[in-house]
Amino acid sequence: MKDIKTITFKKKIRAMKLKKEWLEILGVTEEEREIVVEFKNKKIIIKKAHGGLKNRKVGYVGKNKTPSISLPLKMVEDLGITEENREVMLYLKEDKKVIEIEKKSTLKKEKIVKITKSIAGSGSITPKISIPLSWLEILGVTEANRKVFVSKNKNEIQVSKNKDGSPTERELKTERELNIKFNKSNSSLALPITWIREGNFLDNNREVLITLEEKEYKILINKL
């Protein structure tokens, strides 16, 4: 699982919010909130504490009890985080029961968006996703030339201007030819409901991570 967060700068404190369900997978709760924060291989590692004097505690803030942690200044500096560049990528490693934090790459364009759904009078559901106009320009998609090829490979959905891969590779995927809908300030792509259901994209908050692969002229859609 992936997520994007922004580190908060307050005087000598560096803080960040976390997902409650991620911490629960680690075994961290309001009753058992102690964690260990380490720096290894240019990553900040968070895991549940099992004794020790240097443990930190997760704070649960506000009415919604949103989990928040403070990070050591030195670790944040070593990660290359500054007030001007505060976004980080989070990875939940369920098998190891750890959360890994990395500096968000400037070479990749990534964004978290929500899948919306429109319901027709007949009751049929059409899932839609918003894609930044600047990303579509890089792919060569315009209002006059709005056709894209959308393919599903396992639980990842790919959007490209041209058909991707060799015929053999394409046989392993489900592929559709679709049109981007343009509005004044954004664009949207209607996705097959069967793909969305198979990948459980409509579960929980419907958030997905979209990634622009500029060199390969692709947009990747993955569940968080």
Residue 75: predicted pLDDT: 93
Q: In whole numbers, what is the pLDDT of the chain averaged over residues?
A: 86
Residue 26: predicted pLDDT: 95
**Residues 117, 156 within the same domain:** yes
Residue 47: predicted pLDDT: 95
Residue 104: predicted pLDDT: 80
Which of 87, 103, 119 is at the close of a domain? 103
Quote the domain boundaries for residue 8.
Answer: 2-103
Vertex 68 angle, CA 63 and 70, to 5° = 145
**Residues 177, 195 within the same domain:** yes
Query: pLDDT tens-digit profile of 121-163?
Result: 888 888 999 998 888 988 889 888 999 999 988 788 999 987 6
| Contact between 113 and 208 (Cβ < 8 Å) | yes
**Residues 34, 130 within the same domain:** no
Q: What share of the chain is helix, strand, coil (3-state, %, to 5)?
A: 15, 45, 40
Band of residue 107 on the pLDDT scale cut at 50, 70, 90: low
Higher pLDDT, 32 or 161: 32
Residue 137: predicted pLDDT: 87
**Residues 97, 188 within the same domain:** no
Give the pair of three-digit tokens for residue 97.
Answer: 């029961």
**Residues 113, 219 within the same domain:** yes
**Residues 120, 175 within the same domain:** yes
Band of residue 196 on the pLDDT scale cut at 50, 70, 90: confident
Query: pLDDT tens-digit profile of 160-189?
Result: 987 655 444 544 457 889 999 998 777 999
Q: How far apart, in Å, are the Cα atoms of 39 and each of 47, 72, 73, 139?
A: 12, 10, 12, 37
Residue 138: predicted pLDDT: 86
Which of 82, 103, 124 is at the close of a domain? 103
Number of neighbouring beta carbons within 10 Å of residue 56: 16
Give the pair of three-digit tokens for residue 28.
Answer: 């961290």
**Rounded to an integer, what distance in angstroms lies between the CA atom of residue 70 and that of residue 17?**
9
Share of the chain above pLDDT 70, in %: 92
Residue 8: predicted pLDDT: 93
Number of neighbouring beta carbons within 10 Å of residue 81: 23
Closest residue by Cα to residue 90 from 9, 21, 18: 18
Residue 204: predicted pLDDT: 62
Residue 45: predicted pLDDT: 95
Residue 85: predicted pLDDT: 86
Give the mean model confidence (pLDDT) for residues 31-53. Answer: 90
**Residues 155, 205 within the same domain:** yes
Write phi, then psi, for 112 (nearest 5 degrees): -100, 125
Give the pair of three-digit tokens for residue 103.
Answer: 């500096």
Helix (H, G, I), strand (E, B) or coil at 49: coil
**Residues 133, 60 within the same domain:** no
**Residues 135, 152 within the same domain:** yes
Number of domains making up the chain: 2
**Residues 65, 128 within the same domain:** no
Which of 44, 76, 103 is at the close of a domain? 103
E-assigned strand segments in 19-115: 34-40, 43-48, 56-57, 59-61, 66-71, 87-93, 98-103, 109-114
